[in-house]
Structure 1
Amino acid sequence: MSERVMASNPSVNQDLVVRALRTIQGKGVEVYAFFIKGEDIVRVADISRIGRDDDDALQGFQRPEIRQHVKGILEYLDQGDVLFPNAIILAMSPDIRFSASRGSRPTGDARVSESGTLTLPVYEEGKRVAWIVDGQQRSLALSKARNREFAVPVIGFVSDSLSVQREQFILVNKAKPLPTRLINELLPDTEAFVLPRELAARKVPAELVNLLNKDPSSPFYKIIKRPSDKSSKGAVVTDSAVLTSIKRSLSNPLGALSPFKAIGREGRGDIEGMYRVLLTYWSAVKAVFPEAWGKDPGRSRLMHSAGLLAMGLLMDAVYARLSPHADIRSVQAEVERIAPICRWTEGVWEELGLAWNEIQSTPQHVKRLEAALVQAYSFNKFSKMNS
């Protein structure tokens, strides 16, 4: 698990001291509620941008700045006396300090929190004591607003675990228009807490997509487009198409990956078994259609989302006939059955009445292409069995 590591002795400019309430959630996680000047948020908190390091390990979680969004918030703030009660959520390092207030509690105190003084060291950029989990666009706007004294609510939890921060980022944003592909890429590196069922169902497919893109022996090695990639050079495949194909195979009781769901630790299934099937099948597809593999979708409809989804469905039909442990030669022989009708890079699909580059990722085109491939496979399989 990748962790955000604090610098051992980051230079401290000064401390920011605020009144705060403290409570405990989860497994002893300290959670604080306090107010802070809008301009001070970016003084104590960094924005952890999503990206990849030189070893292709996932770093950070935040999407890029949306300038138009920031501009809109800034225009609202600069109107004058405005109401802005939306809390910023921070993940805070254990470097923060809390001193509880002395004295007796008031009569009727529900005793769910205690008041005190919270001290936030102000470190240099990139080594700050906190990270913005939710509210990066708001924080950027607040830092540029005319009214620098504007007080905003903050909820902060203490954790320098990048995995915990990612999970909170996903859970906070899953009901908002957060890009699905961003959530999918973050899920494999998210481990600390129990995820909602809907997100948990997406974690294994996302993990498999990640493996396919990182494994040098995979036909998808470094050709899958991901939100963290600063450059899309060489990446031609949309990750969502591959992920959707995997999800469908897992959810279909007769799918090629379905037998591996009930095996493995912690209900995750046999990831290695699933990956072995995917690696074998797609390696066979690449071997059957080498001229169409790895090209931009504009030059090859096999790399187009429609082609990937259709070939993903064919995988289930192929493994309905073969053992999950079948070698690549056996799988390749099955895929070759549909080769005569395929027009990935030129020509006209006779069964569809469409030129190769007229196929689009619309539900209608995808279904027609899937039906054509499965029917061709079933017909050729039946013909060989009776020849």
Structure 2
Amino acid sequence: MTSSDEIVVRALRTTQGDNLDVYALFIRGSDLVQIADISRLSREDSSPLKGFQRPEIKSHVKGITEYLNQGNVLFPNAIILALSPDLRFVAARGSKPTGDAGLSQAGTLTIPIREEGMRSAWIVDGQQRSLALAKAANSDLPVPVIGFVSDSLTTQREQFILVNKAKPLPTRLINELLPETGSILLPRELSARKAPAELCGLLSRDPNSPFHKLIKRSSEQNSKAVITDTAVITMIRNSISNPLGALAPYTSSTDGAANVESMYNLLMTFWRAVRETFPEAWALESKSSRLMHSAGIIAMGVLMDRIYAKIGGQHETYEAVLQELAKVAPYCAWTSGQWPMINVQWNEIQSTPQDIKALQETLIRLYMTSAHQ
């Protein structure tokens, strides 16, 4: 319940650390910024450091707000607050349930509402989410909150660091999990990653795919796998995001939805042709073949875009792709020799932005030069 000067909610209370009270509760998303201040990190001249929170990340807040506005969404991520000692908790009366371990006490928590800068709580973790919840269309969404009672800035900073130094999920694990999220509407930055990750998974699993069992996946221990999934995903994402990319026409300009089937057919056609054009360099460890190297996969993706810009994007163009690849094949140094124009030995190509760019430009120049011969 919310009145003009306080919020009253059901809560569970326990103690941790140096006998600090810790509460678990639910409140409306829009009420978070009414009870909690954001303690921004700042320092003026030689004065002591103030606060601990980073600046608002507008793109992050916008992405979360868009997710929240998509309807019946799940939002179980708890906001962590540091609570002022001036709040009031009244324990519920009555006997405890049979078997209760006695770890917490149920009751009613009253939190005062005050002006900004004078509020009864500070956001320790969940600043961007709290700002998004305040802007979301559904202001009544119940949001889980964990609050510990402490007006000590040192304690608040310690908790902020502990929460935020946790190792994030590895990119490869996220990439593999994304296609399994079903129809859930994800924030924009994840949706953009979902189609490439799904295509990568299909290319790895399909027995008819030239990449079958060749892509390293976090969930698989496959001795035959020689290509990192991040390289394949980057190659696909680059083509989708480039307005002139081979895969770009299969992405909706309004909502970013991808025609995965059409994209898959095109990728199958191109990479089957690559395998046929360079059989001696296919399915080898990257140390033996730079075609299987991240640099080779990403650079060939750029050549794919250029080839399809010339021949069109219909998946019946397998023979046409073979003809175009044949124009650069004699000059490629995937497993031996030296790359022309840049005079680099085949095994000196590394997964650095500079080497990938140099290899991309070399392939394009070779292709364009051969087209005029």
Normalising by structure 1, what TM-score? Answer: 0.55
Mean Cα displacement is larger for which, 318-327 or 233-242? 318-327
1:341 is aligned to 331
Counterpart selection for 2:298 from 288, 303, 309: 309
SS in 2 for 1:195: coil
Shift of 1:30: 9.7
Counterpart selection for 1:298 from 262, 270, 287: 287
> What is the rounded CA distance, in whole Å, between the counterparts of 1:30 and 1:370 in structure 2?
43
Q: 1:216-244 CA distances to partner (integer Å, 9 max, x unpaired)? A: 11100010001111x23000001111111
SS in 1 for 2:311: coil
Shift of 1:374: 0.4
Query: 1:341 and 1:179, CA in 2 relative to 1: closer, same or farther beyond 3 A?
Result: same
> What is the rounded CA distance, in whole Å, between the counterparts of 2:235 and 2:304 in structure 1?
9
Shift of 1:199: 1.3
Query: 1:267 and 1:373, CA in 2 relative to 1: closer, same or farther beyond 3 A?
Result: closer
1:214 is aligned to 205
2:218 is aligned to 227
2:191 is aligned to 200
> What is the rounded CA distance, in whole Å, between the counterparts of 1:207 and 1:331 in structure 2?
24
Counterpart selection for 1:365 from 328, 349, 355: 355
Shift of 1:21: 5.5
Shift of 1:340: 1.2
Letter in structure 1 aligned against 2:341: E
- Are the counterparts in 2 of residues 24 and 30 from structure 1 also a CA contact under 8 Å? no
Structural mapping, 1:207-356, within 5 Å: 207-229=198-220, 231-262=221-252, 267-325=256-314, 326-356=316-346
- Are the counterparts in 2 of residues 22 and 31 from structure 1 also a CA contact under 8 Å? no
- Are the counterparts in 2 of residues 24 and 31 from structure 1 also a CA contact under 8 Å? no
Count residues in correspondence.
240
Letter in structure 2 aligned against 1:282: W
> What is the rounded CA distance, in whole Å, between the counterparts of 1:236 and 1:102 in structure 2?
55
- Are the counterparts in 1 of residues 13 and 106 from structure 2 also a CA contact under 8 Å? no
> What is the rounded CA distance, in whole Å, between the counterparts of 2:164 and 2:229 in structure 1?
20
> What is the rounded CA distance, in whole Å, between the counterparts of 1:154 and 1:24 in structure 2?
7
Letter in structure 2 aligned against 1:272: E
Query: 1:378 and 1:31, CA in 2 relative to 1: closer, same or farther beyond 3 A?
Result: closer
Letter in structure 1 aligned against 2:206: D
Q: 1:111-154 CA distances to partner (integer Å, 9 max, x unpaired)? A: xxxxxxxxxxxxxxxxxxxxxxxxxxxxxxxxxxxxxxxxxx99
**Looking at CA atoms only, which structure, 1 or 2, has the larger radius of gyration?**
2
> What is the rounded CA distance, in whole Å, between the counterparts of 1:174 and 1:372 in structure 2?
41
Structural mapping, 1:11-30, within 5 Å: 23=26, 27=72
> What is the rounded CA distance, in whole Å, between the counterparts of 1:379 and 1:294 in structure 2?
29
1:132 is aligned to none
SS in 2 for 1:244: helix
Normalising by structure 2, what TM-score? Answer: 0.57
> What is the rounded CA distance, in whole Å, between the counterparts of 2:204 and 2:272 in structure 1?
13
Q: 1:284-339 CA distances to partner (integer Å, 9 max, x unpaired)? A: 00000011001000111100111111111000000001121142111111111100
Query: 1:21 and 1:174, CA in 2 relative to 1: closer, same or farther beyond 3 A?
Result: closer
Pairwise CA RMSD: 3.4
Query: 1:285 and 1:30, CA in 2 relative to 1: closer, same or farther beyond 3 A?
Result: closer
Gaps of 5+ in 1: 1-16, 34-96, 111-152, 156-171
> What is the rounded CA distance, in whole Å, between the counterparts of 1:273 and 1:352 in structure 2?
35
What percentage of residue pairs aligned between the two structures are identical? Answer: 49
2:42 is aligned to none
Please say if 1:377 is aligned against 2:335: no
> What is the rounded CA distance, in whole Å, between the counterparts of 2:165 and 2:243 in structure 1?
28
- Are the counterparts in 2 of residues 263 and 269 from structure 1 also a CA contact under 8 Å? no
> What is the rounded CA distance, in whole Å, between the counterparts of 1:30 and 1:312 in structure 2?
37
1:184 is aligned to 175
> What is the rounded CA distance, in whole Å, between the counterparts of 1:196 and 1:175 in structure 2?
21
1:149 is aligned to none
> What is the rounded CA distance, in whole Å, between the counterparts of 1:32 and 1:209 in structure 2?
29
- Are the counterparts in 2 of residues 21 and 32 from structure 1 also a CA contact under 8 Å? no
- Are the counterparts in 2 of residues 236 and 297 from structure 1 also a CA contact under 8 Å? yes
